[in-house]
Structure 1
Amino acid sequence: MKKLTDYMAEELSSAFEKAGYDPSYGKVGVSNRPDLCEYQCNGAMAGAKAYKKAPFMIADDVVANLADSKVFSMKEMVKPGFINLKVSEEFLADYLKEMEKDEKLGADTAKEPKTIVIDYGGPNVAKPLHVGHLRSAIIGESIKRIGRFVGHKVIGDVHLGDWGLQMGLIITELKHRQPELVYFDDSFTGEYPTEAPFTISELEEIYPCASGKSKEDEAYRQEALEATHLLQQGKPGYMALWNHIMNVSVTDLKRNYANLNVSFDLWKKESDAQPYIPDMVEMMKEKGFAYQDQGALVVDVKEDTDTKEIPPCMLLKSDGASLYTTTDLATIVERMKLFHPDEILYVVDKRQELHFIQVFRCARKTGLVEDDTKLSFLGFGTMNGKDGKPFKTREGGVMRLENLIADIDEEMFNKIVENRSVRDKDAKDTAKIVGLAAIKYGDLSNQATKDYIFDVDRFTSFEGNTGPYILYTIVRIKSILNRYVEAGGNLEAGELLKASNGSEKNLMLQLSGFGSMIESAFEEKAPHKICAYIYEVSNAFNSFYHETKILSEENQAQKESYIRLLQLTKRVLETSIDLLGFEAPDKM
C-alpha cells in the first residue's frame, strides 16, 4: 500500500514537471509549523539557482498546476518560495479506509526478504540476570519483532557465556565444599547423577564466593584456571557438572526472560563455537593472516583511514587459550554455515565497540563472511539511576532484574488500587502488564545509543510520555467500544467519513503515518521512533476524545464513523506496542 506522503510527492512532482521544472524537486515533508499547514514542499527554494529564477515564481507556477488536485484542500505559495499544503479531508478518509483493509496497516512488506541473525542476550550462565542485561534483551526483542513485521526472517540468539573462567571457578569451589562428589573421582566409570548437586540459589551464591577467593588467593585462581582447561579438554566429571550448571541456569534464565516477554529462537552457547576454532585458526595461519606476537596469535585489523589506534585482533593467548574474540569469530563461522544470513546484528553495550570493530574487520579480512554479508553493531548506552551513575540497589550493589521487575509491579499495584479502577483480585495481574509496559517503554522511548535515567516515579506515571499513559489510552478506547456494543451498536456498521473537526483530522493524519514510521524504525533499528509515534497518536486521540461527543452523537452515520476511527486507532496502538514487546490490559 502506498504511503500518504507518496501520493503527495507524486502530485508535487507532476506539478513541477508540468510547470517545466525537474520533478525531483517535488519532495514533501511534515510541516514544522502546524499552525500554518500540515505538509510543506521546499523544492522551489532548491531549484532557484538551477533555473535562475526567484523561488516564489517557481512556487507560483507549481501551485497553479495543483488547482485540480484531489489530494490537497489547500496549496499556497508563501514567500520567499515555500509551498504550504493541507490534505483534503475526503482523500484522507479514503486513505484510512484502505488502511483498515490492509493487514499491515499501510506498512510495506519487504520485496526481497533478508535473513537476519540478532545476538541480543549474552548473559553468563550461573549468574542471575541483572539490570545490565535489560537493554540488550528488550531492544533486541523489539528489533526482532519489527523485522519480522516487515517481512524479514529474523533469528534471535541468546548467545550464552558458558565456557570461560567462571565455569572453572564454580567447579573448584564445589570441589572444595564437597570433595566426595563422584564428579571429582577420577576412577569413577559409572553413570553420573541426573540431579544437580545444587539449586539455582546455591549456584548463584557459589560463583561470587569463588570469584572473590580467586582475587585474593593466587593458588585458588590457578586451580580454577586448570579446572577450566580440563573442562575444555572434555574431562568427563567436569563435563557432567557443566551440564548440570547449564540445565539449572538456563531453566532460570528462560523464566526470567519470559517475565520480560523476551524469547529467543536459539539458545546457543560459546561452547557451541568451540568445534569451529581449530580449523578457523589453522586457515588464518595458512593464509598468512595470523602471526605470533609476544607468544600470542594475532591478526592485524588496522586500516589506513583509522584516526585512532586499532590493536591487532588476538586469536589465542600465549598459553594457547582462546578468548571472547576467538569464540565470537567462530560463532560467525557457525552462523554462516547454519543460516547463511544477509546480516548479523549485535545488540550490545556500546563500551564493547572496539571489540566488535576488531571482530568484524578480522571476519572480513579472513573471508569468514561474504562481501555482501552485513555485520552490524548497535551499541546501547547505560541505564543510570537518578544520580546519573549506573543503576544500583539501595545498598550499592548491582540490582537483580527480577527484583527491579518486582519493585515496578508493586509500584503499579499501589497506583491501580489507589485509582480503584480494577478489582483487587485482578489488580496484581494488571499491575504486571502495566509494570512491564512502564519498564519497556521507559527504556525504548530513549534512543538506544544514549545513556538514560531510569526514574521509577516518572516511568510508572499515568501522565506524560510513559508506557502506562499509552496503555491508559488503549483501555479508554476499549471501554468506549464495549459501551457501544453493550448499547446494541454494531462494530462492523458504517464507514469512515471525512473529519468533522480539527482534532479528528489531526488524529487521522497521525494514523496515516504508521507505514512511514515503521519503515524508518526498521531501517534505523530505532524502536524509540515507535514510542514517539504512539505518544503523538495517543495525544491526538485524547484531544479528539475530549472535544467530541462520540457515544451521544445523534447522527448515526457520524457515530459509526467515529467508532470505525476508534477501532483503527486501537489497531495501530496495539500493533505498535506488540512491536515494542508488551500488551494492554482490558482495564486499568
Structure 2
Amino acid sequence: MKKILDLMEQELRQAFEACGYEAKFAKVVLSNRPDLCEYQCNGAMAAAKAYKKKPIDIATAVVEKLTGAGADASGAQAGGADASGAQTGGADAASMQSGSAHPVFSEAVAVMPGFINLKVSGQFLAEYMVRMAAADKLGLEAPEKPETVIVDYGGANVAKPLHVGHLRAAIIGESIKRMGRFLGHRTIGDVHLGDWGLQMGLIIEELRDRKPGLVYFDESFTGEFPAEAPFTISELEEIYPAASAKSKTDEAFKERAHQATLKLQKGYAPFRAIWQHIMSVSVEDLKKNYSNLNVEFDLWKGESDAEPYIADMIQMLVDKGLAYESQGALVVDVAEETDSKEIPPCLIRKSDGASLYATSDLATIVEREQDFHPDRYIYVVDKRQGMHFEQVFRVAKKAGIVKQDTPMIFLGFGTMNGKDGKPFKTREGGVMRLETLIAEINEAVYARIMEDEERTVSEEEARRTAGIVGLAALKYGDLSNQAVKDYVFDIERFTAFSGNTGPYILYTIVRIKSILNKYRENGGIVSEDALEKNILPAANDSEKALMLLISRYNEVLESGFAETAPHKICQYIYELSNAFNSFYHETKILTEPDEARKDSFIGLITLAKRVLETCIGLLGIEAPDRM
C-alpha cells in the first residue's frame, strides 16, 4: 500500500509535467504551518531557478492544472510557509483555491512567493483508513530488495552484572532490530559479548589466589576437568571487581593476569576450562537479565568466536601490503586526504603478539561475512567509541573484507545522567545494577497506581501492571531522546501518566480498550481489526487530525529505520496519542445517535489502537489491559 505522501506526489507530478516542468519538483512534505495547510509543495521555488520564471507563476499554473480551476490573483488568500518555517505572504500574495472536487485534495492554494499549500480530501482520507485497516501490517509495503542486516548491540562483559551503562545499547539496539525485521529485512541481533580480554586473566589469577588447590592450577593434573563451576554467579561478580582493584596497585598481579590472558588465547586447556565455566554461569544470568528488559538476541557470540579467524586475517592484511610493523606492533594506515581531523593508524596486534579490540572486531566482521553476507551493519555502541569503529570500518573496506558500498553504521549513543548532569549513580555514588533500577522504577509506578482514588485494580494486579508500565517508562524515557544525545534520567517525569512519557502512551491505549469493551458490553460487535466497520469522512477537525496522524504510520516506520532513529517513532506515537485524546474529549463516541457514524468512530479508534500497539511493539514495549 502506497504511503499517503506518495499518492499526493503522484498527483503533483502529473500537474507539474502537464505544465511543462520536471516531475522531480513535485515533492510533497508535511506542512510546517498546520494553521494554514496540512501538506505543502515547495517545488515551484526550485523550478523557478531552472526555468527562469517567477515561483508564484509556476505554483499558480500547477494548481490550475491540478484542480482544473482558473486562477484568481486577487490576493484574497494570504500567507504560506517556506522551508525554514518562516511565515510569508501579505496583501499582494497570489493565490488560487480549488473550485472543483479533486479525488485527493479538498484544497490547493498557491501563495507568495511560490508555495503550494494542500489539504487532503475527507473522502480520500477515510478511504485510506479503511484500506489501512484491511492491509497486511496496516499497509506497510515490503522492501523492494530485502536486506540482511547485522545489528551489533548489548556488548556486555561476562563475569559482570548488567548495570545502567548497559541499558542504552540493549534497548536502542533491540528497537532497531525489531524495526528492521518488521519492515521485512532479515535482521540479526548479536550481543557480541566481551569474553576474551584482560578481565579473563584477572579472574583466573584472582581465583588462583583464593583457591590455589583447584585442579586448573595443578600443572601435573591430567584428568578431566570438573563439569561444575568452582564459583556461583554471585561469587564471580565479586571476584572480578576485586581482581580489577588489585591490578591497579599490584604490578606483579597485573602481569600475571596479562600472561594468563595470553595463555588462554593460545589455547591453554586448564584456563580454557575455567573460561568455559565463566561463560556458562555468566550467559545464563545475562539472558535472564536481558529478558527482564524484553531484549532478545539471535546470536550469543563474543570476541572469542572471532579467535579462529584472526591469524588468517592478519596474514591477509600483511599480504596485501596494508599491515606493517611500527615499534614492534602491527598497524594499518586508515587516514584519507579528505579527513578534517587526524585519524591515527589502526593497531591490529601488540608488540607481544596479543590481540586487541580492533583485531577481534575485524575478525568478527570476517566471520559475519562468511556466515551471513550482510547488506548492512549497524553497531549500537557508546559514542565515545566512534574513533575505534571509524578505524575498524576503514580497514574492513580497505582490505576488501566488506564491499565498498556496504553501509557500516555507527549508532553512537550518549550518556544516561542523573539530575546533577553526571553519569547516573546510586545514592551511595556507585554504579547501579540494572535490576535495581528496574525495581525502583516499578515501585514508583506502583505507588502512582495505588494513590489513584478511582483505582479499580487489586494490589496484586497493580503489581503486575506496574511491571509492564515501569518497563515502558524506562524504555520510552530513553528511546524518546535522540540516541546520540545525553539525557537526564528523571524517575518522577518518566513515570508520569501525562506528558511525553511511556505511561501516557499506554494509558491512551488502555483508554481505547476501555471504550471498545463498553461498546461490546452495550451490544456492539467489533473484531480486533474492526474490518466490519466502515470509516466515514471526518465530522470535525479533531477527527480529521487523528486520521492524518494515522495515515503517516508507514512513512514514520520506514524513515525511523532508514535513519536508525527510534525517537522518531516515540515522537509519532506521542502526537498520535494527543490527537486521539483531543478527539476523545470532543466526541461522544458511545452515545452518538447515528449508528453509521458510531460504527465509524469505533473503526477509527480501533485502527488508532492497532497503530499504537504496533509501534510500541517495535520499541520493545507492551500495554496492559487496565491501568
TM-score under structure 2 normalisation? 0.92
Matched with 2:422 is 389
Whether the 8 Å contact between 1:342 and 1:372 is mirrored in structure 2 is: no
Q: Which amino acid aligns with 1:474?
A: I
Letter of the structure 1 residue corresponding to residue 290 of structure 2? Y
Looking at structure 2, the residues matched to 238 and 322 of structure 1 have their Cα atoms a distance apart, in angstroms, of: 17
Give the match for residue 36 of structure 1: 36
- The residue that corresponds to 1:311 in the other structure is 344
Note the C-alpha offset of 1:421.
4.0
1:187: which partner in 2? 220
Deviation, 1:149, is 0.9
* Matches of 1:26 and 1:89, distance apart in 2: 22
| Residue identity in the other structure for 2:372 | F
- The secondary structure found in structure 1 opposite 2:187 is strand
- 5 Å-filtered alignment, 1:332-371, equals 332-371=365-404
The residue that corresponds to 1:200 in the other structure is: 233
Match of 2:498 in 1: 463
Q: Which moved more, 1:502-511 or 1:105-114?
A: 105-114
Contact 1:11 1:69 in 2 (8 A): no
Shift of 1:237: 1.9
2:114 to 74, 81, 84: 81
C-alpha contact 1:347 1:377 (8 A) present in aligned 2: yes
Does structure 2 conserve the Cα–Cα contact (< 8 Å) formed by 1:9 and 1:26?
yes
In 2, Cα distance between equivalents of 1:318 and 1:583: 51
Q: What is the aligned partner in structure 1 of residue 9 from structure 2?
A: 9
- CA displacement 1:476-499 (0-9 Å, x = unmatched): 000000111111111144311110
1:368 & 1:48 partners in 2: Cα distance? 47
**SS of 1:143 mapped into structure 2:** helix
In the TM superposition, what is the alpha-carbon distance from 1:78 to its structure 2 partner?
A: 2.2
Query: Is 1:562 the equivalent of 2:601?
Result: yes
How far apart, CA to CA, are the structure 1 residues paired with 2:135 and 2:554?
11
CA 1:49–1:338: 2 relative to 1, 3 Å: closer
Corresponding position: 1:451 with 2:486: yes
CA distance in 2, matches of 1:172, 1:206: 10
Counterpart CA distance in 1 for 2:495 and 2:136 is 32
Q: 1:53 maps to what in 2?
A: 53
Aligned to 2:467: 432
Q: Which residue of 2 aligns with 1:478?
A: 513
**For each residue in 1:381-402, what CA deviation from the matched residue of structure 2 results, as whole angstroms up to 9, or x when unmatched?**
1111111111111111111111
Deviation at 1:82, TM superposition (A): 2.1
2:538 alignment partner in structure 1: 499
Q: Partner residue of 1:103?
A: 136
* Structure 2 residue ranges without an equivalent (≥5): 68-100
The reply on whether 1:143 has 2:182 as its aligned counterpart is no
For 1:54, the aligned partner's letter is: K
SS at the partner of 1:75?
Answer: strand
Match for residue 442 of structure 1 among 473, 477, 498: 477
Deviation sequence 1:310-333 (CA, Å, 0-9, x none): 111111111111111111111111
* Cα shift readout 1:176-224 (whole Å, capped 9, x = no counterpart): 1111112211222222222211111111111010111111111111111
Give the drift of 1:272: 0.8
Counterpart position of 1:133 = 166
Which one-letter code corresponds to 1:56 in the other structure? Answer: I
- 1:93 maps to 126
**Is 1:155 matched up with 2:194?**
no
Q: Which moved more, 1:46-55 or 1:535-544?
A: 46-55
| Alignment match, 2:207 | 174
Aligned partner of residue 465 in structure 1, secondary structure? coil
SS of the residue corresponding to residue 625 of structure 2 reads coil
- State how far apart, in whole Å, the 2-side matches of 1:280 and 1:44 are: 54
**1:141-290 to 2 correspondences below 5 Å:** 141-290=174-323
1:509 aligns with 2:545: no
Query: 1:302 offset after TM fit, Å?
Result: 1.1
The residue type equivalent to 1:407 in the other structure is E
Whether 1:587 and 2:587 are equivalent positions in the alignment is no
Distance in 1 (alpha carbons) for counterparts of 2:148 and 2:114: 46
Read off the aligned partner of 1:513 and give its amino acid letter: R
Cα shift at 1:426: 0.8
How many pairs does the alignment contain?
Answer: 588
**Relative to structure 2, which stretch is displaced further, 267-276 or 75-84?**
75-84
Q: Given the alignment of the two structures, is residue 528 of structure 1 paired with residue 567 of structure 2, yes or no? A: yes
Deviation at 1:42, TM superposition (A): 2.0
Offset, 1:24: 2.5
CA–CA distance in 2 between the matches of 1:22 and 1:80?
Answer: 20
The answer on whether the counterparts of 1:15 and 1:62 sit within 8 Å (CA) in structure 2 is yes
Does the Cα contact within 8 Å between 2:102 and 2:121 map onto a contact in 1? no
Alpha-carbon distance change, 19 to 578 in structure 1, aligned in 2, over 3 angstroms: same
> Is the Cα contact below 8 Å between 1:347 and 1:380 reproduced in 2?
yes
CA-to-partner distance for each residue in 1:283-329, whole Å, 9 max, x for gaps? Answer: 22222211111111111111111222211111111111111111111
Question: Paired residue for 2:77?
Answer: none
1:44 Cα deviation from its structure 2 partner? 2.5
CA distance in 2, matches of 1:288, 1:51: 53
Q: Is the 8 A contact 2:533 2:600 kept in 1?
A: yes
CA contact (8 A) 1:313 1:358 kept: yes
Structure 1 vs Structure 2: percent identity of aligned residues? Answer: 67
Partner Cα separation in structure 2 for residue 273 and residue 299 of structure 1: 19
Query: Which secondary structure does the structure 2 equivalent of 1:77 belong to?
Result: strand
The residue type paired with residue 532 of structure 1 is: Q
CA distance in 1, matches of 2:44, 2:197: 62
1:237-296 CA deviation, whole Å, 9 max, x = no partner?
221111111111111100110000000000001111111111111122222211111111
Are residue 297 (structure 1) and residue 330 (structure 2) matched?
Answer: yes
Q: Deviations over 1:366-388 (max 9, x none)?
A: 22223333322111111111111
Query: Which of 533, 536, 547 does residue 586 from structure 2 map onto?
Result: 547
- The amino acid of 2:164's aligned partner reads V
| Corresponding residue SS for 2:200 | helix
Matches of 1:199 and 1:230, distance apart in 2: 24
RMSD over aligned Cα, in angstroms? 1.3
Residue by residue over 1:422-456, the C-alpha shift from the partner in whole angstroms, topping out at 9 and shown as x without a partner, is 21111111111001111111111111111111111
Task: State how far apart, in whole Å, the 2-side matches of 1:521 and 1:214 are.
Answer: 44
Alpha-carbon separation, structure 2, partners of 1:569 and 1:228:
55
Q: Is the 8 A contact 1:108 1:519 kept in 2?
A: no
Amino acid at match of 1:576: C
Q: Secondary structure at the match of 1:65?
A: helix
- Contact 1:160 1:268 (C-alpha < 8 Å) held by counterparts: yes
Contact persistence 2:309–2:367 (CA under 8 A): yes
Q: Counterpart amino acid of 2:605?
A: L
Deviation by residue 1:526-570 (Cα, 9 ceiling, x = unmatched)? 101000100010000000000000011111111111000011000
Quick check: 119-128 or 233-242, which moved more?
233-242
The answer to whether structure 1 residue 573 and structure 2 residue 612 are counterparts is yes
Q: Tell me, what secondary structure is at the counterpart of 1:397?
A: coil
Alignment match of 1:489 (pick from 524, 530, 537): 524
* Separation of aligned partners in 2, 1:60 and 1:280: 63
Q: What are the ranges of 5 or more consecutive residues in structure 1 without an aligned counterpart? A: none
Amino acid of the structure 1 residue aligned with 2:320:
K
- Cα shift at 1:134: 0.7
* Normalised TM-score (structure 1): 0.98
CA-to-partner distance for each residue in 1:6-27, whole Å, 9 max, x for gaps? 1111112222222333333222
Change (3 A) 1:111 1:22: closer
Separation in structure 2 between the aligned mates of residue 106 and residue 451 of structure 1, nearest angstrom: 35
**Structure 2 CA distance for aligned equivalents of residues 214 and 405 of structure 1:** 32
